Structure 1
Amino acid sequence: MNVTYKIEHLTLQGKNEYAMRIFYRDILGLLEQQVAEHEFSYAFTASDQPFLNILFGGVAPAAQRGGLYHFAVLLPDTASLAALVERLIRIQYPLGAGDHDVSEAFYLNDPDGNGIELYHDRPKESWYWDNGLVTMGTNDVDVRALLAQKKDVWTGFPAGTTIGHVHFVGGDLAAGDHFFLELLGMDMTAAIADSAHFYSHNQYHHHHAYNTWLGSAVEMRQGDETGLVDWQVAVDENYFAMLRDQAISQVVDETTLRITDPFNNTLIVKK
Structure 2
Amino acid sequence: MASSDAPIDVGHVALVVRDLDKVATFYQQVLGLEPLTSDGEIRRLGARGTTLLELRQDKAARVRAPREAGLFHTAFLLPSHQELANWLGHIARIRAPIQGASDHLVSEAIYLVDPEGNGIEVYADTPQDTWQHSAAGIIMSTEHLDLNALLSDADADWQGMPRGSVIGHVHLQVGAIPEAEAFYTGVLGMKLKTRYPGGSFYASGDYHHHLATNIWNSRGAKPLAGGETGLAEVVLRATKSEHDALAARAGQTGEILTLVDPWNIPLTITTKDETHVG
State the match for 2:173 in structure 1: 169
Instruction: Tell me, yes or no, if the aligned pair for 1:229 and 1:266 is still in contact at 8 Å.
Output: yes
Instruction: Tell me, yes or no, if the aligned pair for 1:250 and 1:259 is still in contact at 8 Å.
Output: no
> SS in structure 1 opposite 2:92?
helix
Q: Which runs of 4+ in 1 moved over 4 A?
A: none
Question: Within the alignment, does 1:15 sit opposite 2:27 as a pair?
Answer: no
> Alpha-carbon deviation of 1:103?
0.6
Question: Within the alignment, does 1:216 sit opposite 2:219 as a pair?
Answer: yes
State the match for 2:116 in structure 1: 112
Residues 141-163 of structure 1: CA distance to partner in whole angstroms, max 9, x if unpaired? 01122112212111101111011
* Mapped partners of 1:209, 1:55: distance in 2: 23
Residues 32-69 of structure 1: CA distance to partner in whole angstroms, max 9, x if unpaired? 14432222110111xx3312111112331356321111
> Mean Cα displacement is larger for which, 132-141 or 95-104?
132-141
* Mapped partners of 1:249, 1:89: distance in 2: 49
Instruction: Tell me, yes or no, if the aligned pair for 2:30 and 2:96 is still in contact at 8 Å.
Output: no
TM (norm. structure 1) is 0.91
> Alpha-carbon deviation of 1:13?
0.4
Residues 111-136 of structure 1: CA distance to partner in whole angstroms, max 9, x if unpaired? 11111100000001000111251111
* Mapped partners of 1:7, 1:138: distance in 2: 23
> Alpha-carbon deviation of 1:16?
2.3
> SS in structure 2 opposite 1:19?
helix
> SS in structure 2 opposite 1:137?
coil
> Mean Cα displacement is larger for which, 234-243 or 101-110?
234-243
* Unaligned runs of at least 5 residues, structure 1: none
Alignment of structure 1 residues 45-84 onto 2, 5 Å:
45=48, 48-57=49-58, 58-61=61-64, 64-84=67-87
> SS in structure 1 opposite 2:149?
helix
Question: How many residues in Structure 1 have an aligned counterpart in Structure 2?
Answer: 264
> SS in structure 1 opposite 2:143?
coil
State the match for 1:265 in structure 2: 265
Q: Percent identity?
A: 31
RMSD, aligned α-carbons? 1.8
Q: Aligned partner of 2:30: which letter?
A: I
State the match for 1:35 in structure 2: 38
* Unaligned runs of at least 5 residues, structure 2: 272-278
Question: CA 1:137–1:3 in structure 2 vs 1: closer, same or farther (change >3 Å)?
Answer: closer
